[in-house]
Structure 1
Amino acid sequence: MASDWNRDLYIKACRFAAQAHLGQLIPSSDLPYLLHLNLVSMEIIAALGVEAGHDGDLAVQCALLHDTIEDTDTSYDTIATIFGTRVAEGVAALSKNPELDKSQQLLDSLHRIERQPREIWMVKLADRITNLQPPPIHWDVAKIRRYREEAIEIHTHLQSASPFLASRLAQKIEQYPPKT
């Protein structure tokens, strides 16, 4: 049986994320940032539909809130008060540490994610699946290659969380340029 999730908690998290990210756009686009968050949650919901044993509420809420600490003025304490400590811990693990050099941020985040429940791992997989769209036209080949290599690193670290999402990410990596 697939993993279930509470629709009311989804709506609560979606409304909160919409307000927190109000006016924010997906980088290099004119699309509202809420679209990205909904695409990440859609990947999570698809995985929950075919995989049993996941805490669907934790996964869905963290999918919708995963960028609130990193990209808005929302604090850990606010997330913990409204959504609980488990969700706040997950969102914090998914957030880059701005005090670290950019070259260290991904590995640091992956190590913090690996200390979280598997549902948080799933959110990171779903986030990168969603982000592996055609790269912005202003990215050079080196930047595209680094982004693809980061995706491979995410897959390597977190693939055991969800066979469904791991397969989706592997497919997206294979399709993402450049392969050489």
Structure 2
Amino acid sequence: MDDLILKAARFAARQHTGQSRKYTARPYVTHPARVAAMAMLLPDADPPLVCAALLHDVIEDCGVTAEQLAAEFGSDVASIVDELTNRSKLESPGANRAQRKALDRARLKNVSRRAKLLKLLDRIDNLREMDLAPSGFRRKYLDESRLLLEEVLSGVEPNLEAELLAEIKRHEGMLALERA
């Protein structure tokens, strides 16, 4: 494994110490580790992309800055992570969830293809772990995922788009069974 990737894995583990995933109570770092593992399988995978996958939530959830990431991992990694960071909560504190997500989608339309690839992987992994989430939240998250796919991620990587759509449909089927 590349030294930079190993360094990023250790950094992510330290930054996410004490955090757990919603609905599963698994250590949070398992999520970026899975996203990075999927990123390694992409045809255009390289160390900066895999590092960004490992670090994709540290600005948003851990108080790390893009400048710190650039100093530790280089500007390519920092740029991708910065592109993936949702800023709507900070920039629009009075906005409701739907408004914030619309702002996030509008911003994500203009990010790099590499950031969009990681956003696809992030969303796929989030949905794979969402089976125990309350049905009301799952419904909302599925609607947001569809909008993200249609408005932002369409045309980025057909196989990943199909995988995301399959996860959305799987959850929609589960929700339909719960209502029956």
Q: Could you tell me the TM-score, scaled by structure 1's length?
A: 0.82
- Three-state SS of the structure 2 residue aligned to 1:130 is helix
Q: RMSD in angstroms over aligned alpha carbons?
A: 2.2
Summarize the Cα distance change of 1:128–1:82 in structure 2 as closer, same or farther, 3 Å threshold: same
In the alignment, what sits opposite 1:149? 143
Q: Structure 2 unaligned segments of length 5 or more: list them.
A: none
Measure how far apart 1:85 and its partner are.
Answer: 2.3
Measure how far apart 1:55 and its partner are.
Answer: 5.2
Is 1:164 the counterpart of 2:159? The answer is yes
Q: How many pairs does the alignment contain?
A: 169
Q: Could you tell me the TM-score, scaled by structure 2's length?
A: 0.82
Contact kept in structure 2, 1:13 and 1:65, CA below 8 Å:
yes
In the alignment, what sits opposite 1:15? 10
Q: Which moved more, 1:99-108 or 1:72-81?
A: 99-108
Is 1:72 the counterpart of 2:66? The answer is no
Q: Structure 1 unaligned segments of length 5 or more: list them.
A: 1-5
Q: Deviations over 1:7-62 (max 9, x none)?
A: 2222111111011111111122331111111111122122x1xx3xx352332111
For 2:119 and 2:16, the matched residues in 1 are separated by: 19
In the alignment, what sits opposite 1:57? 47
Structure ranking higher on relative contact order (CA contacts 8 Å, 6+ apart): 1
Contact kept in structure 1, 2:23 and 2:130, CA below 8 Å:
no
Instruction: List structure 1 runs of 4+ shifted beyond 4 angstroms.
Output: none
Is 1:95 the counterpart of 2:85? The answer is yes
Measure how far apart 1:151 and its partner are.
Answer: 1.2
Is 1:119 the counterpart of 2:111? The answer is no
Q: Percent identity?
A: 30
